[in-house]
Amino acid sequence: MNMHEYQAKELLRQCGVPVPMGFPAFSATAAEFAMLRLPTATAVVKAQIHAGGRGKAGGVKVVKSLSECRAVAESLLGKPLITPQTDSKGKVVNRLYIEETANIAKEFYLALLLDRSLPAITVVASTQGGMDIEEVAAKTPDQIIKVAIDPSIGLQDFYLHRLSIALGLQGTVHAPQFHALLRQLYALFLQYDLSLLEINPLALVGENGDKLLVLDSKITSDDNATYRQQELQSLRDFAEEDARELEAAKFGLSYICLAGNIGCLVNGAGLAMATMDIVKHYGGQPSNFLDMGGGASAEQIKQAVRIVLQDQSVQAILINIFGGIVRCDIVADGLITTVKELGCQVPIVVRLEGTNVDAARDMLQQSGLRFTLAENMADGAQKVVAAANKAS
């Protein structure tokens, strides 16, 4: 689950992390009142959407008066903001964050993320923080510092010293602040089961550049820990999330909408990724990622097909099932019942392998419905791409 910046800042503030004063606003009038409450004569108006790159897209602006604050708020609220991390339609801005300005002496990048490949909590940092951090990572990767923290021993002092030296945050003024900040962030990361805690920029502010301040923050919590973090669910902005993804979760399905025209229904995350790869290899474009899980039931199959068909761009469906936990004949029976109930007219290519696969293939062939059977993944991918191309 993603949090808006103002929500992330409030969580950080509660944990003692230094952040600027700011207030959320849902109207232009509220934005004016928020600016009146700030200690600075100027303010930063920030669009609140779940996407990065807001600054370059015009979603972050400094204002010098109440009238300018209102004008900027009116120009953003209710309108789509297109950034490098949104699609061509952008995301509609429904809320703003009005924040005090700061006198920035130096910007850094700092993030904690869950690295499942190690496994570890990895700290990523750079002396080149700000809006161009992606460009820095692409062109000068040597300026990106990565330190993997062994969770069995936690955030030890040697990790802190290594990072502060790499960032140049040394001495009796900067080092203690940075060490305290990183300890607070690490504790928050563990307490709330986060998968990402990004600060960009972390800044040295003030006339002498002697104070660390978190100027922007992005927080993502791990959905696998939702049962332990019920209080965070109140922060969820359903308007920012795809309705199909939310609906799929109710049935134990992992669904992510993509931009193609070939629906994919697969059991197992690894197989789902491989299925999308092979579809693209043969010239197709998946419209979704959908993992039904190893023990997909007839009801899950029905709901999966229904959710995929809600995407009007879908012109063919590839069903790729390995019948290990679930028998192939049960899958076939569920597919037949589903297609009949939904009246599906989209061509469906089915690749089944595993327990009772021969019986399942016979059931599909004798159903009289629009099933095309595939011998293997490559055959299935080629057939579904051909079907989608023909339909278009």
Return per-residue pLDDT of the chain as tens, 392 residues. 899 999 999 999 999 999 999 999 999 999 999 999 999 999 999 999 999 889 999 999 999 999 999 999 999 999 999 998 888 889 999 999 999 999 999 999 999 999 988 889 999 999 998 877 888 888 888 889 999 999 899 999 999 999 999 999 999 999 999 999 999 999 999 999 999 999 999 999 988 899 999 999 999 999 888 889 988 888 888 778 778 888 898 898 999 989 899 999 999 889 999 999 999 999 999 999 999 887 777 788 889 999 999 898 999 999 999 987 788 998 999 999 999 998 888 999 999 999 999 999 999 999 999 899 999 999 999 999 999 999 87
Q: Are 136 and 107 in contact (CB under 8 A)?
A: no
Interatomic CA distance for residues 203 and 215, integer angstroms = 7
Q: Are 177 and 108 in contact (CB under 8 A)?
A: no
pLDDT digits (tens, 9 = 90+) for 160-211: 999 999 999 999 999 999 999 999 999 999 999 999 999 999 999 988 899 9
Residue with token string 């949104």:
86
Active site residues: 109, 198
Hey, what amino acid is at 3?
M
Smallest Cα–Cα separation from 66: which of 28, 94, 22?
Answer: 28
* Token pair of 338 as six digits: 């589903």
Interatomic CA distance for residues 361 and 331, integer angstroms = 10
Whole-prediction pTM value? 0.78
Hey, what amino acid is at 28?
A
- Strands, E, within the chain: which ranges? 22-25, 43-47, 60-63, 80-81, 91-92, 96-100, 104-115, 120-126, 144-149, 194-205, 211-214, 217-221, 254-257, 262-266, 288-291, 316-323, 348-354, 371-373
Smallest Cα–Cα separation from 107: which of 218, 197, 213?
Answer: 213
Residue with token string 């939904």:
342
Interatomic CA distance for residues 238 and 351, integer angstroms = 35
Interatomic CA distance for residues 111 and 185, integer angstroms = 9
Torsion over CA of 169, 171, 174 and 178, rounded to 10 degrees? 70
Q: Are 96 and 48 in contact (CB under 8 A)?
A: yes
